[in-house]
Structure 1
Amino acid sequence: MATLYRAVHYWLVDHPIITQYEWKPRQSPGASPLFLSITVTFYLSLTLLLHRYPTLPPPPSSALRLAAVFHNATLCLLSGVMAVGCALSVLHQTPPDNPSWCICFPAGSTTPRGPTFFWAHVFYFSKILEFVDTLLILLSGSCSRRLSFLHVYHHAVVPVMCYLWLAAAQTLMPVGLVTNAAVHVLMYAYYLLSAIGLRPGWKRMVTNCQITQFLYGYLVSGLMLYLHFTGSGCSGFGAWGFSTLFTTSLLALFVNFHLKNYAHARKMKPADRLVLGKDKRP
């Protein structure tokens, strides 16, 4: 077990590429507002174009299923690696005399370097990879059922938030990364099993976990605010404000989704759900 831990720790924390990582504006991959703007604009334009003018011929269902299996398996595995890698990196990088470092990067003296920020950079690019979620929905022809405002809004704004995490060395970045990546392990595992023909019985649990991560973020933010105003300040406070406003809007949308898809379904009789084709139970 100790040997396995040392191997995992080396490849996720101690490897030279990871330990020597540093975010350099306009030099590191994707480290410029221009790259971010072009990427998000392209995503929104392509989504709007394919949604309103579906010109691409539908691919064979077998090919689409295979692509979905590969995509969801990749993101499920990557999410797990990011969650573990960032958690280990935080433990490694936290100064012995500052145990609250992971929730309050010291203002004015924190630069985005080291293994914790390496995983933030990987996380940033993983959110661009998640654009494929939308493409798979568009190609499957199930837009009216699955392509919601919540879906597109979430995918378009998350990369902006992740960019600010790095550009501003934002406080609470490790908390947001680890909790979100952990929830995405569960979410993409659900999508993976669905793509191979199974239907797991924990669809509602995925939504509940997504809502819980936002509530947990508020709890930790309260502690961060205390440290910020009673100490010398926490790094990236403005970027934290943007993240908080964004996650608040997501929380409202997720709660609305939960009420529409689960609370309403519980009020209907089972026979009614089957007749109307709205049995949303996983």
Structure 2
Amino acid sequence: MASVYSTLTYWLVDHPNIANFTWTEGETLGSTVFFVSVVVSVYLSATFLLRSVIESLPSLGPRILKPITAIHSLILCLLSIVMAVGCTLSLTSGPTARVLHAVCLPVDTKPSGPLFFWAQVFYLSKIFEFGDTVLIILGKATHRLSFLHVYHHATVVVMCFIWLRTRQSMFPVGLVTNSTVHVIMYGYYFLCAVGSRPKWKRLVTDCQITQFFLGFVISGWMFREHLFGSGCSGIWGWCFTFAFNASLLALFFNFYFKNYVKKTTLERLAKKAIDYYYSKETSKLS
């Protein structure tokens, strides 16, 4: 077990490319406002354009689409595991492990080292996740192309860029929790694509909502450290992230109600109606 831990720590924390990483605006890949603006604009434009002509697009069919979906989901599932483990080890390994930095980064923090390396990987992975939308469009599953889906995919890229640019406190918490949720989510999508649909679809939404609540609770801790401690880095970036997560939570609750609570209530009412009908018929026969 110790050798596994040491191996993981070397490859995910102490490797020179990770340990010596420095995020430099204008030099690191994707590190400019122009890059973010172009990427998000292209994503939104392409999504709305393809959405308007979706009926005229050729259908790839499940034989082609399912293997592509499986590969895409498997890559993101495995990448999410690596990011969650890498960021966690970056906080907890070494002689001077600083778990508190998961909540509050010092105001003089430099955007360098393993934590910011994984923040950069996480940021770029959100662009790769645009493939979710492409697959939905190619599969002509218009019911899945909701405002929540497009809004989340577009804005999360902006949020991750702000994490890096402002050296935002609490980004390690967001990175680890979101990556963990994505392990479950993309694992579910992968299993569906290979023909084994699990019964825990609802768990994905439950975990996403739990993630937001956890973030809000820890935000209170961070804000206390900022006001009564030595201060936390990237407080304005945190304000953007907090507002974004609050909006997502509201949208997820709406999604949850429509797809689970309302559905469960209707099923219960239908069952009562059927039971009542059969009880009446039975009484007539007797």
Scaled by the length of structure 1, the TM-score of the pair is 0.92
The residue that corresponds to 2:77 in the other structure is 76
Contact 1:95 1:101 in 2 (8 A): no
Q: Which has the larger radius of gyration?
A: 2
**Deviations, residues 149-182 of structure 1 (Å, cap 9, x unaligned):** 0000000000000000001100000000000000
* 2:44 match: 44
In 2, the alpha carbon distance for the partners of 1:220 and 1:93 equals 24
- Distance in 2 separating the partners of 1:94 and 1:203: 41
**Alignment correspondent of 1:129:** 128
Distance 1:2 1:140 in 2: 46
Q: d(CA) in 1 for partners of 2:164 and 2:96? A: 20
Aligned equivalents of 1:207, 1:85: Cα separation in 2: 25
Partner in structure 1 of residue 283 of structure 2: none
Equivalent-residue separation in structure 1 for 2:190 and 2:267 (angstroms)? 30
> What is the CA–CA distance in structure 2 between the aligned matches of 1:100 and 1:191, rounded to whole Å?
34
41-50 vs 87-96, which deviates more?
A: 87-96
Residues 1:30 and 2:30 are matched in the alignment: yes
Query: Shift in Å at residue 93 of structure 1?
Result: 7.1
Distance in 1 of aligned mates of 2:225 and 2:165: 22
CA shift, 1:271, in A, is: 9.6
Number of equivalenced pairs: 270
Partner of 2:167 in structure 1?
Answer: 169
Gap change, CA 1:127 and 1:49, over 3 Å in 2: same
CA gap of 1:94–1:261, structure 2 versus 1, over 3 A, is: farther
**In structure 1, how many angstroms separate the alpha carbons of the residues matched to 2:104 and 2:269?**
53
Encode CA deviations 1:181-238: one digit per residue, 9 max, x unaligned.
0000000011111111111111111100000000000110000111100012100000
Q: Deviations over 1:59-111 (max 9, x none)?
A: 23211111000000000000010000000011237956x6522211111x111
Unaligned segments of structure 2, at least 5 residues = 272-286
TM-align CA RMSD:
1.6
TM-score for the superposition, normalised by structure 2 = 0.91
Q: Which amino acid aligns with 1:113?
A: S
Are the aligned partners of 2:81 and 2:183 in contact in 1 as well (CA < 8 Å)? yes
Whole-angstrom distance in 2 between the partners of 1:71 and 1:271: 39
Q: 2:247 is matched with which residue?
A: 249
SS at match of 2:93: helix
Counterpart for residue 282 of structure 2: none
| 1:4 CA displacement | 1.4
1:165/1:191 Cα in 2 relative to 1: closer, same or farther (>3 Å)? same
- For residues 101-155 of structure 1, the C-alpha deviation after alignment (integer angstroms, 9 at most, x for no partner) is 2211111x11110001100000000000000000000000111x11110000000
Q: Aligned pair 1:17/2:23, yes or no? A: no
Q: 1:272 Cα deviation (Å)?
A: 5.2
CA–CA separation in structure 2 for the residues paired with 1:124 and 1:28: 12
- Residue 224 of structure 2 corresponds to 226
Residue 215 in structure 1 maps to residue 213 in structure 2: yes
- SS of aligned partner of 1:200: coil
In structure 2, the partner of 1:277 is none
| 8 Å Cα contact 2:61-2:139 kept in structure 1 | no
Distance of aligned partners of 1:192 and 1:35 in 2 relative to their CA distance in 1, 3 Å threshold? same
C-alpha distance in 1, partners of 2:23/2:141?
39
Q: Distance in 2 between matches of 1:94 and 1:259?
A: 47
- In 2, Cα distance between equivalents of 1:196 and 1:272: 33
User: Retained in 2: the 8 A contact 1:68–1:136?
Assistant: yes
**Structure 1 residue 56 displacement after superposition:** 3.5
Q: Quick check: 60-69 or 246-255, which moved more? A: 60-69
- 1:47 and 1:9 map into 2 onto residues whose CA distance is 40
Q: Give the Cα separation in 2 of the matches to 1:271 and 1:134.
A: 35
